[in-house]
Every structure is written in C-alpha cells, then in structure tokens.
Amino acid sequence: MTVATSKKRSKVLFAASEVYPFAKSGGLADVAAALPKALSETFDISVIMPFYRSIDAVRYNIVPLNIFYTLNMNGKAYEVKLYGCSYRGITYYFVYAPVLSEREYLYGPADQGYADNAVRFALFCRVIVKLLKEDGDFSILHLNDWQTALAALLVKEDESIETKTVYTIHNLAYQGIFPYHTLREIGLSEHYYHMDALEFYGSINLMKAGIAYADRITTVSREYAKEIQTETFGFGLEGFLFYHRNKLSGILNGIDTEVFSPQSDPFIIYHYDSEKYAKKFENKKAYLKERGLKGQQKPLFIFIGRFTWQKGVDILIDVLERTAQLDINIAILGEGETLYHQKLLRIVSRYRHIDLYFGYEEELSHQMYAAGDFLLMPSLFEPCGLNQMIAMHYGTLPVVHSVGGLKESVQPLEAFTEKSRKGFGICFGEAHADALYKALKDASYLYGTLRYKEICRHNMQCDFSWKRSAERYAALYRELDKA
C-alpha cells in the first residue's frame, strides 16, 4: 500500500503600500500584484496593504475579518481593523486605521508627502508584525520600499518571531527621511539612533531599517544593484549599501502578461500579436482620431509616466520644441510636479503635433502602448522600469537612456540578432537633450522600414513575464527558509 503525502507549501506574507488594482501610483503596485501571483503556485502567499479610502470595497468584495488590534506608539493607542478578500487566487489583508486610511491621496499631494507619513506607515508595519506573530506560521515576510522597511527591525527585535525577512528596494530616491523627533513618535528608543541603524545626517531614515535588519535585500535589476553602491545613484546610502552588499542582489521585474496583453487587452479595440502585427496600425488610427492628432504615416512617440525629474522630464521638455522640425507626433500622459505641468502646457499650446493628457489613466495608457510606434524613456535613473517592457510586448519600440533596468532590459539596436531572446530598442548613453534628439531622429529614419517591423515583431515574441524572475525570488525564499 502506498500513502500519498502532500508537502505543505511555505507561507509567505508580502507587504506593500500599493497593489494593483486596489491602489496604484506607479510600478510598485504592478509588481506587488504580479509577483505574488507568479509565486502562488509554489508558496502559500498572502498580501497585506493599507485600506485606503479610495479602494472600492464593493467591487472587490472586501469584507471585515473580525480581527481588531490596539497598537501603541509613543503613549498613543491606535485602533486597527483588518479586512480581507480573495482576488485572482490570492488572499489580501487590508489594514484600516483612520490615520492611515482616511486620506485623499496614498502618500500626499504630488509635490509633498503628508507630514505624519512616518506614523502612518510605522503603524502599518506594526500591524504586519502583529499579524505575523498571531499567525505564527509565516516562514517569509517580503517587504517593499521605505513604507514597510520598519517591519524588518520590528521582526529582529522580537526574539519570539522566527520569520525571515526579504526587503526589496524599488526606488532609492524615496527613503522615508523624517526629523529626529519622529523616532519617538513611531515608538522607537534612542537605541536606534546611530549610523548602523536609522540615523541619517541628523534625521531618521526608515529605508535604513530595511537595509540593516532584513535577512536579504533585493532591488529590481542587477544594474541598479550595482549603481546604488555608487555616489551618483546612491542618494547618500551608497556606503551603507556597500557595507551590506553581501546580502544584496538584483532581480529584474517582469510584467503581468494577463493585464498587459495585445491579444486580449480589454482596453484596446483591435487585438493583435506578432503574426498579426499590421493590426496594431488600426489602434494607432483610432487613437489619433480620438486625440485629434493628424498624420497616420508619421511615427507616433509616446511618453507615459510620473512628471518628476527622475523620468527625464527636463530633457523631454528641452527637446519638445525642436521636434517641430521632425515629421512626427508625440503623445504624453502623466501627472506630477506643478512646474512640469506648467512648462508642458506652455509648449503644447503652441504645437499641434504634441498631445498632452494630465492624469492617471490606466485605460488610456493601454491604448497608447497599442497605438504608439516608439516609447520615450529618457529617465535619469531607472531602477527597473516597466513601461519599456510593456511597450516591447505591444510591439512599440523603446527609445531609452541606457541606465539601470533600462540598460538590462533593452539591448541596443546595433546588436540585433533574430536569435537573441532579449528585447531591442534605440539606446542613448547620456542623459542629455541632444542625445534624446538624435535618438528621435534615428527613430524617425528607422520607422516604417523592414528592419523596424522585424525588431518590433521580435520584441513581441520575447518573454517579459514574471516567470524567470519569480523563480529567482522562489530560490531566495527557499534558501532563507532552510537557513
């Protein structure tokens, strides 16, 4: 007689401050949705996030879980309720507390964060650790960005918790730096105010908690893992990261090919794949008509992203006026800093070949990926970047500044071979308006040629899914689980 045994899957808690489709301000939300999904066949994985008031509880069937905590920080009691739902096969926990949830924005208006963000997200971290402790069964806690970093310290502080922690840096530009007195407000003692812990040039730095106390640190590309140990990209943490380099590695993000699929995207009218590449043009025609742009045969360049210096918006603005000399159209979608809004508006009002849409519009962004001939990404630095992978998957050729994740995921056109499994695009080495302008010119010469189509169709056949990267995270979890 044989006895069937089923091996129990390890439990993982994945914590993030935004998760698509519940709340999204950028790539973190995409990653926090797609990575757990990709790992869910191997691990028993749940996701925890704040229950922002903008989240549509009815639509996602989010219900109270009958779990209530009272947590103390600096002598103040915070009442917390947990909610939950199951979505696309994953269990989600939502943390509700008025200070965390009852806000208009996730983190604050575009130009500044809420003054009490440290308290808001420290409370979130305390709830994560409380849940971990009550459950007692999670082997891995996967934390993301500064908003969840403090949980790594809280886990280490509590000897009764055996859970191992992984901390992922999605963008080193946002470190969660707050004035010294915040230390007390988030319920931490002076003990943590030193350079090996949270102290940072007289302030406190929450990201340092993740770097110092997590068992492993990852970031979202191998290139960025190297770059952040240098002065240019380290934002003051390069020395600290170099010191902790033995537990640091880079794993490139993937894209959710169920959400982003030219074959089945519900937001686009004409579905296509690399075989039916010509149909992509129908999306372009529909888009140009919708947005009032003229010239179907002109190459359409798209830019989608946050209007912030990181994304190279200054370079883009410098180049826009010059593009009147080229026979092209440009469509821009984004929101962000007021100064950029004003500058862009001023330029766009003078040129009819540039279309500008302010806002965060998921649907429109999908239509743009499907309609565009080229995607512009002149980022000054880019930890990973998803846009370029989405674009390649939609047969839209990326034009990128070769840095960080862009360098890793987009190979220069000159090296194109059909046999390669990598994606290709137009790459420029210097974050400068002249370099971007030259790339735009090269792109418009290339547009419509056989080579252009061949490369776009090649890119569409490449694998940008999470599969390979999820395997690397799985290996990391297993290694820690055994340790």
Residues that bind ligand ADP (CB under 6 A): 26-28, 30, 304-306, 333-335, 360-362, 365, 384-387
3-state helix, strand, coil in the chain (%, to 5): 40, 20, 40
Name which of 205 and 409 has its Cβ closer to ligand ADP: 409
Name which of 389 and 426 has its Cβ closer to ligand ADP: 389
Contacts of 323 (CB under 8 A, 6+ apart): 330, 351, 353, 354, 437, 440
Which two structure tokens, joined as six digits, stand for 381? 């630095």
Residue whose entry in the numeric block shows the structure tokens 């569409």:
460
> Quick one: which H or E segment has residue 148?
helix 145-157
Name which of 151 and 313 has its Cβ closer to ligand ADP: 313
Name which of 13 and 386 has its Cβ closer to ligand ADP: 386
Task: Give the Cβ contact number of residue 88 at 10 Å.
Answer: 12
Residues facing 250 on adjacent strands: 219
Order of all β-strands in the sheet with 138-144: 63-73, 76-87, 90-96, 44-50, 11-15, 138-144, 164-169, 216-219, 248-250
Please give the Cα distance from 385 to 390 (Å, whole number).
9
Provide, rounded to whole angstroms, the least separation between the CB of residue 23 and ligand ADP.
12
Provide, rounded to whole angstroms, the least separation between the CB of residue 423 and ligand ADP.
15
Please give the Cα distance from 258 to 397 (Å, whole number).
21
Name which of 224 and 428 has its Cβ closer to ligand ADP: 224
Residue with the CB atom nearest ligand ADP in the bound state: 27
Name which of 335 and 442 has its Cβ closer to ligand ADP: 335
**Cis preceding-peptide flag for 262 (omega within 30 of 0):** no
Residues 192 and 185: beta-carbon distance below 8 Å: no
Name which of 10 and 308 has its Cβ closer to ligand ADP: 308
Give the DSSP letter of residue 246. G
User: Considering just the CA atoms, what is the radius of gyration of the chain in Å?
Assistant: 23
Provide, rounded to whole angstroms, the least separation between the CB of residue 386 and ligand ADP.
4
Provide, rounded to whole angstroms, the least separation between the CB of residue 221 and ligand ADP.
11
**DSSP helix/strand/coil, 320:** helix
Name which of 50 and 187 has its Cβ closer to ligand ADP: 50
Nearest Cα neighbor of 154 from 177, 131, 135, 173 is 131
Provide, rounded to whole angstroms, the least separation between the CB of residue 18 and ligand ADP.
10
Residues 474 and 288: beta-carbon distance below 8 Å: no
Name which of 139 and 308 has its Cβ closer to ligand ADP: 308
68: Cα within 13 Å, side-chain hemisphere:
4
Please give the Cα distance from 241 to 226 (Å, whole number).
10
Residue 92 backbone zone (phi > 0: left; psi -120 to 50: alpha; other: beta): beta
Provide, rounded to whole angstroms, the least separation between the CB of residue 388 and ligand ADP.
8
Provide, rounded to whole angstroms, the least separation between the CB of residue 51 and ligand ADP.
22
Provide, rounded to whole angstroms, the least separation between the CB of residue 168 and ligand ADP.
13
Provide, rounded to whole angstroms, the least separation between the CB of residue 359 and ligand ADP.
6
Name which of 114 and 360 has its Cβ closer to ligand ADP: 360
Residue whose entry in the numeric block shows the structure tokens 């007390």:
184
Which two structure tokens, joined as six digits, stand for 99? 């200070």
Name which of 15 and 220 has its Cβ closer to ligand ADP: 220
Provide, rounded to whole angstroms, the least separation between the CB of residue 368 and ligand ADP.
9
Residues 265 and 363: beta-carbon distance below 8 Å: no
Give how far Cα 302 sits from Cα of 358, 367, 368, 400, Å: 14, 11, 7, 12
Please give the Cα distance from 78 to 327 (Å, whole number).
59
Provide, rounded to whole angstroms, the least separation between the CB of residue 447 and ligand ADP.
22
Provide, rounded to whole angstroms, the least separation between the CB of residue 256 and ligand ADP.
9
* CA quadruple 415, 416, 419, 423: dihedral sign: positive
Name which of 116 and 361 has its Cβ closer to ligand ADP: 361
